[in-house]
Amino acid sequence: MLIPIIMAGGNGSRLWPLSRQLNPKQFLPLGDANVSMLQATIQRLQGLDIATPLLICNEQHRFLAAEQLRQLDMEKSNILLEPIGRNTAPAIALAALQATNDGQDPILLILAADHLIEDVPAFHAAIQTALPLASSGKLVTFGIVPTHPETGYGYIEKGKADGTGGYAVSQFVEKPDLPTATDYLASGAFLWNSGMFMFHASRYLQELERFRPEIVAACRSALAGCQQDMHFTRVDKAAFELCPDDSIDYAVMEKAEDAVVVPLDAGWSDIGSWSALWDVSEKDENGNVVKGDVLQHGSSSNYIHAASRLVTLVGVKDLVVVETKDAVMVAHKDQVQDVKKIVEQLKLQGRDEHINHREVYRPWGVYDSIDEGHRYQVKHITVKPGAKLSVQMHHHRAEHWVVVSGTAKVTNGDDTFLVTENQSTYIPIGQVHALENPGVIPLNLIEVQSGPYLGEDDIVRFEDKYGRA
C-alpha cells in the first residue's frame, strides 16, 4: 500500500505580501492554476494506486487545510496537526508512527504541498520507478534534472546506476555558488534536491532510531498523547515541544547507506521566489505576467499582481509588483530573495501585515476589516450556510450588526431571534452573544465595533463547535 504524506507546513515569507504566516503559499492559487498549491498536489496523484493521503500541517492552518480538502470532496481525510514546527524529520516520523500503529508497514510517498509539477505523466513514471526500490528496503529520494546552474537549491550527486532507473546517492551537497553550480550542470552527475521521498515507514523509523533516537522518542510520546478532534489528530504539545528540530536530509538521508535517487524531469519548481513564479507563469507578448486589473505601457518582463485595485506600469522592466488590500510590494526580479528582509522588518516593528491579510478566514467563513480608526473598526463578515460563530463575549468592545444579505440567527443575552436584510442589532460590552447562518445562502453583514480595545484576543468563548479554546 502506498500512502502519500503531504507536508503543508512553512510560511513562504519570500512570496510576501501574498503569502503570510496564517495564509502561506501552499494554500494559495499560484502559477496559472485556479486551485491552491495544496489542491494541485493532491490532484496530480489521480491515476495512481494509492491510499487516502495524510496531510500534515501546523495547527494554526487547520481550518484552511480542512476547507481546501472539503472543496475536493475529501472532508473526511485525516489531518495530522503539529502544535509547533520542528522541521521535516519529526513530521515524517509522526506520519510513519501513525502509519505503523495498527501493525501495517505501508510505503510512504513524502511530498511537499507547495511544489509545482507541470508534467504529471513524468511524475507518475518516476513514482513507478521508485516503487520497487522502496519495496526492497531502499530510502528513495527524487532528484530534479537541472535546467540551469541554480544556486538556491541543494544538490545530490549520482553514484552507481542500479539498472532500474535509480542511482546510489554519492553525496548530498549544500547550495553552491554560481561557478560550482555551473560545473555541476556541465558534469551531468548532479540533480537538484527536491525534498520528495519514498520508503517503507518502518525503514525510515529504523534509520531515524539509529541516527536520531531522541526524535523517535519524542514523536512516540507526542503521538501516544494525541487526541482526535473531528478529522484532526492533535499530538501532545508538551511532548512534541521537546523534539529536536532537524530535516530528514541531515537526520537520515545523508547518513543512510541505502539511499538511492530517482531522476525526475517533470517541469518541477518549488516556487520559492517571485522570479521563480514569473519563470513558470504564462506571459504576454511583452514577457509580462499579469494578474488582476492591470494596465501597462512600454513595460516588459514584469510580474504584476493586482488583488483589489487598478495597477499601472509605464516604461519599466524586470520588476515584481504585488498589490493586496493592505500592502504593495515592488522589487527588482534580481533582488526578490530579499523580500524576506521586509518581513523581518515588519516583525521587528511589531506590525501584523506579515501575519494575516485584511481578509481573515475562519472555519465559519471570512471577515474583511474594511476600515478602522480611533476606538472603532468596521468589518464585512460572511458566514457560510449552516455555520455558527462561537458563543462569546467581549470585555472592551460593543458591536452593531447590519445584515446586508441572507438571514442571521442572533443570540443576544437571553434572547434569540432572526435578523434579515436591512435589519440590525446591537451587542453591548460584556453581553454574551452568538451569530449563526440558518439559511442555505451565505450571510453577509457589516459589523461596527466600538470601544477602547478592539483586538481579536478580546474574545471569551463559552461554546464553540470548531473546538477553539
Residue 350 lies in a domain: no
Count other C-beta atoms under 10 Å from residue 456's C-beta: 9
Work out the average pLDDT over 242-264: 95
With a CB cutoff of 8 Å and minimum separation 6, the contacts of 252 are 89, 139, 204, 207, 208, 211, 212
Q: Are residues 254 and 300 in the same domain?
A: no
Q: Domains in the chain: how many in total? A: 3
- From residue 74, alpha-carbon distances to 94, 106, 231, 236, 440 in Å are 21, 21, 11, 25, 21
Give the CATH number, domain containing residue 450: 2.60.120.10
Per-residue confidence (pLDDT) for residue 78, from 0 to 100: 87
Give residue-wise pLDDT tens across range 349-383: 999 999 989 888 888 999 999 999 999 999 999 99
Q: What percent of the chain has pLDDT over 90?
A: 86
Task: For the chain, give percent helix, strand, coil, nearest 5.
Answer: 25, 35, 40
Per-residue pLDDT at 33 exceeds 80: no
Per-residue confidence (pLDDT) for residue 343, from 0 to 100: 96
Q: Are residues 288 and 265 in the same domain?
A: no
Q: Are residues 410 and 434 in the same domain?
A: yes
Residue 353 lies in a domain: no
Q: Are residues 230 and 108 in the same domain?
A: yes
3-state secondary structure of 245: coil
Radius of gyration of the chain from its Cα atoms, rounded to whole angstroms: 24
Using the 3D structure, point to which of 246, 269, 292 is the last residue of a domain.
269
Q: Are residues 404 and 341 in the same domain?
A: no
Q: Are residues 246 and 292 in the same domain?
A: no
With a CB cutoff of 8 Å and minimum separation 6, the contacts of 269 are 115, 116, 276, 279, 280
Work out the average pLDDT over 92-96: 97
Contact 191, 143 (CB under 8 A): yes
Per-residue confidence (pLDDT) for residue 15, from 0 to 100: 96
Per-residue pLDDT at 31 exceeds 80: no
**Closest by Cα among 145, 144, 171, 168 to 157:** 171
Q: Are residues 382 and 432 in the same domain?
A: yes
Q: How far apart are CA 400 and CA 427, in angstroms?
A: 6
What single string gives the DSSP state of each residue in 194-243?
EEEEEEEHHHHHHHHHHH-HHHHHHHHHHHHT-EEETTEEE--HHHHHTS
Per-residue confidence (pLDDT) for residue 1, from 0 to 100: 86
Using the 3D structure, point to which of 269, 288, 310 is the last residue of a domain.
269
Q: How far apart are CA 367 and CA 352, in angstroms?
A: 16
Q: Are residues 145 and 287 in the same domain?
A: no
Q: Are residues 39 and 69 in the same domain?
A: yes
Mean pLDDT, the chain, whole residue set: 94
Per-residue pLDDT at 34 exceeds 90: no
Per-residue confidence (pLDDT) for residue 229, from 0 to 100: 80
Three cell numbers, residue 226: 494525541
Residue 468 lies in a domain: no
Q: Which domain holds residue 454?
A: 359-463
Per-residue pLDDT at 308 exceeds 80: yes
Residue 454 has phi, psi (to 5 degrees) of -120, 20
Label residue 465 by pLDDT band (50, 70, 90).
confident
- From residue 349, alpha-carbon distances to 16, 345, 346 in Å are 16, 6, 5
Work out the average pLDDT over 22-28: 93
Label residue 469 by pLDDT band (50, 70, 90).
low
Q: Are residues 165 and 287 in the same domain?
A: no
**Closest by Cα among 15, 20, 13, 14 to 30:** 15
Q: Are residues 150 and 216 in the same domain?
A: yes
Residue 451 has phi, psi (to 5 degrees) of 155, 175
Per-residue pLDDT at 102 exceeds 90: no
Per-residue confidence (pLDDT) for residue 353, from 0 to 100: 94
Residue 419 lies in a domain: yes
Alpha helices in 303-406 (DSSP H): 339-348
Contact 268, 145 (CB under 8 A): no
Would you give the DSSP letter of residue 438? -
Q: Are residues 98 and 228 in the same domain?
A: yes
Using the 3D structure, point to which of 247, 269, 291 is the last residue of a domain.
269
